[in-house]
Amino acid sequence: MIGNVCVFNWRYGSPELRRLFTVENIVKNYIRVEVALLKALGEAGIAPSQCFLEVEKCANEIDPMEIYRREAVIGHDIAALSFILGEKCGECGKYVHLGATSYDIVDTAWALILRDALNIIRRKLKNVIEKTGKLALEHADTYVIGRTHGQHALPITFGFKFANYVYEFSRSYERLVELEKRLVRLKMSGSVGTMASWGDKGFLIEEHVGRELCLEPHQITTQVAPRDGFAELAAALAILASQLDRLALEVRELSRTEISEVYEAVERVGSSVMPHKRNPVTAERISGLAKVARSLVAAALENIVLMHERDLTNSSSERVVIPHILLTVDQMLEDTIKLLSVIRIDEEKARFNLDLTRGAVYSELVVAKLVEKGWARHEAYMKVKKIVENLHGEDLVEAILRDPDLSSYFTEGELRSTLNPEYATRNTKKLIERALNYAQRTVSEASPSKCSN
């Protein structure tokens, strides 16, 4: 098993998602669609009404690999499946695949598989949102310096930091729910999409197959379903991967020795040679896999572009892109769930870093106060800028009180009550609450498909 060249067979991706892309499950869904079509043909009076039961029973005896051994000879997997069913399923076999094109089977099977895959991804993303939300509440009052451009900005709280991720992850949850109505659809319209072989019974057959498989049909197709749905899935997953990467990068940055505000509390060997190392390897793996997820979007976009009513350029790349981007994001979600469980905040170091600038991070608040007292904002800005650039062993409050232009505007008590993290973050709890309420509404109200395979 370990010798397999594809790491998704043994290292990355959960067993439950990996199972969806096994030969056995793919063939099972091909057969499920063929059986649903045969049942519809029976209901339309084109085939004997009980034939679908005979073929369903017969199909259970077929080794999935037999289809691909036949494909190696004739060069077409769905033709191989229909030929085998036709040969082995007695009198009813002659009706298998009647009027259908191969991508009626393939695209509809993709819809069934992707419905299951999206349910798994959304369930794990919901777990991530809940864990991140819990950290946001737990650290609503844990102060930390906010950073922009890698530089100290204004104080925030770790709860505020986590709540921002809650909001972003919730938006991805919305996307994954919303895109399902465009992606998970029935394609059952025959060669070039005109239902020609079924005559005036084409819409009836489409309706019966859709009801059997719990799928709404595409409004119109060529010989294949529109590939924009697959591209939208890849893009939405890549956006989610990038959001997970942003969280992972934050952990990696704040784990740096000179910052040390965050760390992964895991017993592991950090380095093969340096015993002191405490590397953020879970976060690093998330970031590494995000590169893979983003790279796969280009191929999915290229697959929208097919000649005329179809060509075969999408088929081979989709066999790679669709399973691998889902398995990549699945592993990233698994790792993020783990990361959120082991992440620890060093509050003492966070407070130490917050005080490194001796209050210079509150300069914006001084400007605001000066404007309240009648100063022009641009003049107040330049005055405070000059003061913070010349702090020498004193904090900002002390520098203001000794400045001849500003000392008359403030008392020490007024400055101390304003230039502190409590004052700077006085709105963050409401912002956290608003983000968490949004997430709760999103997860509860955005209802994914209730159909299951």
Catalytic (active-site) positions: 149, 271
- 412 strand-pairing partners: none
Contact 190, 202 (CB under 8 A): yes
Q: How far is CA 336 from CA 68, 117, 259, 329, in A?
A: 37, 18, 22, 10
> What distance in Å separates the CA atoms of residue 427 and residue 368, rounded to the nearest whole number?
16
Contact 318, 283 (CB under 8 A): no
- 147 strand-pairing partners: 152
Q: How far is CA 357 from CA 241, 291, 380, in A?
A: 35, 36, 20
Q: Indicate the DSSP class of residue 394.
A: S
Q: How far is CA 405 from the centre of its chain?
A: 54
Amino acid at 38: L
Q: Mention every residue, 6+ apart, whose C-beta is less than 8 A from residue 323.
A: 8, 20, 21
Structure tokens at 15: 């067993």
Amino acid at 306: L
Report the chain's C-alpha Rg in angstroms.
30
Total residue count of the chain as it appears in this document: 453
